[in-house]
């Protein structure tokens, strides 16, 4: 059963560090997406930019990112992995929100169905090569490039057409999932359904990986995939 819209949009579930680890990006990168930035240069006016994904107010150290913000971050990570710069990332978000006609368009099923055409049309009109590289032609239709599809195919949508379940792109296999309707939205192993934090804590305490995996009913190769991918990328 999918979590309701309020849970996905209005409940802070993840810290910046937790969200970054799930996506396999640096915390500083995710922080810029969630909070914006101010860049100062001698003798010039500061350059500022606002957030480009959903973030909620909270006490310092508490979770600030709702599930919908994590879903938006997953698409941003895909675009970034395809070589799109921060300036063009911001441009892409504005184009998609405006043209699809939805706030948080990155977390909508319509991104999957309409986003490639929207971005290609803009890129062709404005001669924007970076955004054009996000798409390709398959069977005479404009679709997202394979590097983007790798991420989008790990997003599942509820009947209301908003993202409801994410499989981490930080691992080679489909190993880690977040679902606001399970384990309070915290990352769990797809096989075994154990919380990632519980498994990793035992391993960090010095227990043999094979023993930890067996105790939690998680394939040892899945734990190894997670440790190899998500942990180093966001360290």
Q: What is the pLDDT of residues 192-222, one digit of tens each?
A: 999 999 999 999 999 999 999 999 999 999 9
Q: Decide if pLDDT at 168 tops 60.
A: yes
Burial 166-201 (b: 16+ CB within 10 A, else e): bbbbbbeeebbbbbbbebebbbbbbeeebbbeebbe
Q: Decide if pLDDT at 227 tops 80.
A: yes
* pLDDT value of residue 234: 46
124 three-class SS: helix
Q: Going along 69-228, which residue ranges are E strands?
A: 135-138, 141-144, 155-157, 163-167, 176-178, 188-189
Segments making up each domain of the chain, as ranges: 5-233
76: nearest Cα among 113, 115, 126: 115
Query: Nearest 5°: phi and psi at 199?
Result: -65, -50
User: With pLDDT > 90 as the criterion, what percentage of the chain qualifies?
Assistant: 80
What is the spatial distance between Cα 140 and Cα 78, in angstroms, rounded to a whole number?
Answer: 23
User: What is the model's pTM?
Assistant: 0.91
What is the spatial distance between Cα 84 and Cα 49, in angstroms, rounded to a whole number?
Answer: 17
| Residue reference for tokens 């035992």 | 202
The Cα-based distances of 20 to 41, 83, 166, 215 in angstroms read 28, 18, 14, 27
* pLDDT value of residue 235: 43
Q: Decide if pLDDT at 73 tops 60.
A: yes
* pLDDT value of residue 231: 56
CA 13 remoteness from chain centre: 14
Burial 82-108 (b: 16+ CB within 10 A, else e): bebeeebbbbbbebbbebbebebbbbb
- In tens, the pLDDT along 172-199 reads 999 999 999 999 999 999 999 999 999 9
Q: Are 53 and 73 in contact (CB under 8 A)?
A: yes
* pLDDT value of residue 229: 76
């Amino acid at each position: 059963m999918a979590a309701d819209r309020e849970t996905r949009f209005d409940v802070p579930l993840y810290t910046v560090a937790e969200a970054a680890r799930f996506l396999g990006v640096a915390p500083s990168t995710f922080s810029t997406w969630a909070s914006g930035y101010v860049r100062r240069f001698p003798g010039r006016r500061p350059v500022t930019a606002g957030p480009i994904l959903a973030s909620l107010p909270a006490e310092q150290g508490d979770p600030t990112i709702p599930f919908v913000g994590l879903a938006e971050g997953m698409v941003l990570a895909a675009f970034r992995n395809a070589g799109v710069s921060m300036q063009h990332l911001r441009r892409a978000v504005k184009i998609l929100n405006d043209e699809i006609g939805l706030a948080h368009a990155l977390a909508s099923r319509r991104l999957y169905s309409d986003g490639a055409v929207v971005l290609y049309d803009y890129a062709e009109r404005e001669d924007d090569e970076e955004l054009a590289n996000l798409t390709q032609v398959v069977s005479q239709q404009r679709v997202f490039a394979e590097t983007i599809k790798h991420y989008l195919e790990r997003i599942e949508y509820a009947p209301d057409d908003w993202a409801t379940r994410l499989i981490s792109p930080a691992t080679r296999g489909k190993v880690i999932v977040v679902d606001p309707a399970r384990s309070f939205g915290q990352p769990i192993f797809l096989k075994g359904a154990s919380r990632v934090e519980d498994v990793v804590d035992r391993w960090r305490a010095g227990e043999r990986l094979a023993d930890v995996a067996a105790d939690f009913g998680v394939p040892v190769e899945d734990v190894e995939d997670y440790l190899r991918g998500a942990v180093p990328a966001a360290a």
